[in-house]
Amino acid sequence: MCGIIGYVGPQTVVPLLVSGLYRLEYRGYDSSGVAVLTSSGLRVHRRAGKIKVLEASLPKKMKGNVGIAHTRWATHGAPTDANAHPHLDCKQELAVVHNGIIENATELRAELEARGHKFTSETDTEVLAHLIEDTEGALDARVRAALARVEGTYGIAVIDQKNPSQLVAARRGSPVILGVGEREMFVASDLAALVRHTSQVIHLDDGEVALLEARGFHTTTLDARPTQHEPQLAGVAHQSYERGDFPSFMLKEIHEQPEACARTLKGRLDSEFDTAHLGGLEISARELLDIRRIKLLGCGSAYYAGLAGAHLLEELTRVPADAEPAAEFRYRNPVVERDALYLAVSQSGETFDTLAAVREVRRKGGRVLGVVNAVGSTIARECGGGIYVHAGPEISVTSTKTFTCTVIALALLALHLGRIRDLSPARGRRLIRALSALPERIADVLAQSEKIRAIAEKYAGARSAFFIGRAGAYPIALEGAQKLKEISYIHAEAYPSSELKHGPLALISPELPTIAVVPHDDLLEKAVATLEEIRARSGPIIAVTHAGHARLTELADEVIEVPTVGEGLDPILMAIPLQLFAYHAAVALGRDIDQPRNLAKSVTVE
């Protein structure tokens, strides 16, 4: 959702801003715009719709070396040209782009209008431009003065024709990253827009304001106290943001899973003590020993990864563990227990509801760790300690490699915590072996892509599908259903297999395929009994399972065989065929794979 890119330096800024906007496209947006300081003053172009519409509207002659640009996801006001960012002051001298929400915008707007300011949009952002207009002094001082009036969250970039070689950025609750180049400076809300230009970055802290000029930058707090930052290596190659030869980022990311999972595991398995090392936890073994409950919080696929992790955590540590959607948790006035460990699970580290849940836990004195993919993201920073997933940048809106890697990261935590408690060294050793085998076994599953394509094409015409699983396989069924509905738009629902006879069985018919996730675990025979019930009602069955169960193979119309690593980790492998099934079904239906309708990669609003 919403993206920012800005630049000060010797380059011609318009092409740079436009290519930056394309890099931000994956986040989801419905309008975009650019503002440039040209020799004849500030020039602004904004358009509803796709970036290519904006690009086509830009005059060839619009030349300048300082500019800002934005992709907007409508919250306050419809996705129109007028509501697209950048927003201007009355004199049209300064321009602002903004991610986040100004909570007191209504009051500020009334006050500004009473003073004679004329608004041209319905956005909360426009108040910022008018607030800055009413201030005096250096540009960063003016921005600080305006921000002092503002409640809510923001990542902003501001340019002003009276200060034609400067750009000011500020952050509170919405990421802002500075990129340091050779006599040039960049600003962006997302590394994706920066890494092609520079690998030297600075993550602004909440409550910081940065003044950027071609020769460098300086940062202060909102009350003008100077702060210090040394540029850090971005740590991701720009190729991570490119599709390469793949037709979509989703397919690329599905195929990246062997390496991504190997990265999650790298340096974390300890064969000497048969445990896992997680350097960033910042919680001692003694403290972990006191944990009596584990609660995982997340949204969407992160929540499902949390459910899968909860299963492993409870199984391996014998500490009660469960997962809850972060938004539900934060609004139900939850009891936060002193001896509970809360885990905030998030790919982007920016999901508003997950962040709010973190704050709720912390406000009530609870202990929360992040399980986050995006390094340096807001949730990772607010939690302080935690586990980085290290799946690498994920561009496709629908999550694939991050889901798998997050479950693996949680399995590592379960091993670490288990070994502090009652898990035997022998079991620890077997788990290490199973975890180490995952990358290769994932590659084996990926090799079946063509077979899965044929099955997906056969069922792509279904109007509805069920996904079923039990115990550790149930979260995988939930995630499988999520994948299918997100990108193919086929209605899909997941149930614990045991629940089928309590209602959903009424819908089983030859038109409704059931995708059954059936690892060979203690509940195998129960799962087979459920398949008998489906078969008896002529429901087509696609079984994702292991080889070697004759009756199961007989019952299923299609069998996708997954290798086994054992130790309760097989459901992780079973997520892969479900990703491929959703992908191939969506391709067969001609869907937009990477940017499904109505969805954003990172939901930074409530």
Where on the chain is the footprint of ligand G6P (CB under 6 A)? 299-302, 346-348, 351, 354, 397-399, 599-603
Other beta carbons within 10 Å of 430: 15
> Residues 509, 523: contact at Cβ < 8 Å?
no
Other beta carbons within 10 Å of 501: 12
Residues 6+ away with beta carbon under 8 Å from 325: 297, 298, 299, 303, 353
383 is a catalytic site residue: no
CB of 594 to ligand G6P, least distance (A): 12
User: Residue 482 or residue 497: which is nearer to ligand G6P going by CB?
Assistant: 482
Q: Which of 252, 295, 401, 601 is catalytic?
A: 601
Distances (CA, A) of 62 to 34, 124, 407: 11, 28, 49
CB of 38 to ligand G6P, least distance (A): 37
2 is a catalytic site residue: yes
Q: Encoding tokens for residue 589?
A: 């239906």
Could you report how far apart the first and last alpha carbons of the chain are, in Å?
A: 12
CB of 579 to ligand G6P, least distance (A): 12
User: Residue 161 or residue 348: which is nearer to ligand G6P going by CB?
Assistant: 348
Other beta carbons within 10 Å of 522: 10
In 3D, which of 341, 361, 369, 357 has the Cα closest to residue 298? 357
> Residues 529, 496: contact at Cβ < 8 Å?
no
CB of 151 to ligand G6P, least distance (A): 24
CA dist 18 and 23 (Å) reads 9
> Residues 235, 202: contact at Cβ < 8 Å?
no
CB of 133 to ligand G6P, least distance (A): 35
CB of 586 to ligand G6P, least distance (A): 14
Q: What amino acid is encoded at 13 in this protein?
A: V
With residue 338 as reference, give the H or E element that holds it: none
User: Residue 217 or residue 249: which is nearer to ligand G6P going by CB?
Assistant: 249
CA dist 285 and 546 (Å) reads 37
User: Residue 123 or residue 301: which is nearer to ligand G6P going by CB?
Assistant: 301
Q: Is 127 exposed, middle or buried (0-12, 13-18, 19+ CB in 10 A)?
A: buried
CB of 142 to ligand G6P, least distance (A): 34
CB of 350 to ligand G6P, least distance (A): 6
Q: Is 461 exposed, middle or buried (0-12, 13-18, 19+ CB in 10 A)?
A: exposed
CB of 593 to ligand G6P, least distance (A): 13
In 3D, which of 472, 575, 578 has the Cα closest to residue 261? 575
Residues 6+ away with beta carbon under 8 Å from 343: 294, 295, 296, 297, 306, 309, 368, 369, 370, 371, 386, 410, 413
CB of 242 to ligand G6P, least distance (A): 21
Q: Encoding tokens for residue 263?
A: 């990265």
CA dist 506 and 483 (Å) reads 24
User: Residue 139 or residue 600: which is nearer to ligand G6P going by CB?
Assistant: 600
User: Residue 189 or residue 398: which is nearer to ligand G6P going by CB?
Assistant: 398
Q: Encoding tokens for residue 561?
A: 């065989």
3-state secondary structure of 290: coil
User: Residue 163 or residue 351: which is nearer to ligand G6P going by CB?
Assistant: 351
User: Residue 217 or residue 304: which is nearer to ligand G6P going by CB?
Assistant: 304
Q: Which of 2, 261, 383, 405 is catalytic?
A: 2
With residue 516 as reference, give the H or E element that holds it: strand 514-518
> Residues 414, 321: contact at Cβ < 8 Å?
no
> What is the full DSSP assignment across 95-150?
EEEEES-BTTHHHHHHHHHHTT----SS-STHHHHHHHHT--SSHHHHHHHHHTT-
User: Residue 143 or residue 327: which is nearer to ligand G6P going by CB?
Assistant: 327
Cα 387 to its chain centre, rounded Å, is 15
CA dist 65 and 565 (Å) reads 56
Cα 526 to its chain centre, rounded Å, is 36
CA dist 28 and 289 (Å) reads 42
User: Residue 248 or residue 347: which is nearer to ligand G6P going by CB?
Assistant: 347
Residue sitting closest to ligand G6P (CB):
300
> Residues 488, 589: contact at Cβ < 8 Å?
yes
Other beta carbons within 10 Å of 368: 24
User: Residue 547 or residue 599: which is nearer to ligand G6P going by CB?
Assistant: 599
CB of 178 to ligand G6P, least distance (A): 22
Active-site positions read 2, 601
